[in-house]
């Protein structure tokens, strides 16, 4: 009889413990789900998503006539007084990563409160781009110091306003330059536009185009945005297998139709 009472008591106690744990777990889950994401949280997510080594290999293998296998490399470089993250960004042909043809600084911060967006990504030229080649590949003690980075931020080029993607879409954030774009004089252009999408799998889509006074596109790929995907963690040689690309010299001539070279 005593054994039965102890058994029933233990069952009740165990049931009470389980109910308590369920209630606590539910409360924690609700708290996590209802916790609002701050403006700076969004900026941090975007900065982290932009960072790292990514390639357009898959896209180039599908459509080598219109897309190159480009290596995009981005990493943190400094932080501004207002909390904005400064990222160093470069692009190079996958065969010659040590020779970037495009170098920029990105400033990532929350959008101004008066604008209907979440994150602002601005690009700027670099005062002495040669000094920053392969910045992300170098040991940290061989890079320019953060205060030097801030001092080397040159003229503003573009600003993209990103919004959180609607539920059900494969992206996290997407956006573009304001209507009318920004001044640009390369290859006969009078202005340029940029589009940026950050996907859930850490993939980045970018689309930069230049237009003349009559609205004709004079540089930039026409078929759609470049699709940059993270490099495989395995480091497989597959990433660098031949993709029936033309010789490097021909690629460099064709690059004018797709990218703006560093001025």
Domains for the chain: give ranges and CATH numbers. 39-230 (2.40.128.590)
Q: What is the pTM of this model?
A: 0.76
Confidence of residue 40 (pLDDT cuts 50, 70, 90): very high
Residue ranges with strand state E in the chain: 52-55, 70-79, 85-93, 102-110, 119-126, 153-164, 171-176, 182-183, 191-199, 204-211, 217-219, 226-230
Q: What is the pLDDT of residues 110-159, one digit of tens each?
A: 999 899 999 999 999 999 999 999 999 999 999 999 999 999 999 999 99
Rounded average pLDDT over 6-32: 56
CB 86 within 8 A of CB 77: yes
Please give the share of the chain, as a percent, with pLDDT higher than 90. Answer: 69
pLDDT digits (tens, 9 = 90+) for 237-263: 444 444 434 444 444 444 444 444 433
Neighbours of 208 (CB within 10 A): 23
When pLDDT is cut at 50, 70 and 90, the band that residue 187 belongs to is: very high
Give the pLDDT band of residue 20 (cuts 50, 70, 90).
low
* Length of the chain (residues): 263
Higher pLDDT, 22 or 15: 15
Count CB atoms within 10 A of the CB of residue 220.
Answer: 21
Q: Which long-range contacts (CB under 8 A, 24 or more apart) does 198-202 make?
A: 198/46, 198/49, 198/50, 198/162, 198/171, 198/172, 198/173, 198/174, 199/170, 199/171, 199/172, 200/170, 200/171, 200/172, 201/229, 201/230, 202/49, 202/52, 202/54, 202/229, 202/230
């Amino acid at each position: 009889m005593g054994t039965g009472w102890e058994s029933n008591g233990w069952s009740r106690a165990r049931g009470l413990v389980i109910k308590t744990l369920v209630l606590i777990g539910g409360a924690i889950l609700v708290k996590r789900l209802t916790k609002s994401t701050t403006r700076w949280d969004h900026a941090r997510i975007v900065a982290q998503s932009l960072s790292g080594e990514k390639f357009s290999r898959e896209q180039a293998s599908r459509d080598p006539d219109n897309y190159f296998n480009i290596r995009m490399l981005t990493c943190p470089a400094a932080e501004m007084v207002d909390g904005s993250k400064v990222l160093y960004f470069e692009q190079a042909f996958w065969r010659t990563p040590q020779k970037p043809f495009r170098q920029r600084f990105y400033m990532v911060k929350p959008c101004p409160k008066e604008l209907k967006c979440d994150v602002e990504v601005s690009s700027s030229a670099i005062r002495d781009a040669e000094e920053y080649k392969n910045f992300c590949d170098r040991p940290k003690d061989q890079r320019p110091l953060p205060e030097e980075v801030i001092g080397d931020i040159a003229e503003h080029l573009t600003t993209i306003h990103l919004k959180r993607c609607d539920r059900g879409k494969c992206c996290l954030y997407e956006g573009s330059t304001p209507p009318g774009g920004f001044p640009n004089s390369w290859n006969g252009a009078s202005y340029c536009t940029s589009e940026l999408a950050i996907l859930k799998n850490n993939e980045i889509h970018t689309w930069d185009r230049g237009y003349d006074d009559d609205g004709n596109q004079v540089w930039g790929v026409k078929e759609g945005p470049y699709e940059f995907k993270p490099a495989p963690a395995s480091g497989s040689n597959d990433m660098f297998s031949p993709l029936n690309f033309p010789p490097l010299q021909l690629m460099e001539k064709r690059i004018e139709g797709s990218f703006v070279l560093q001025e």
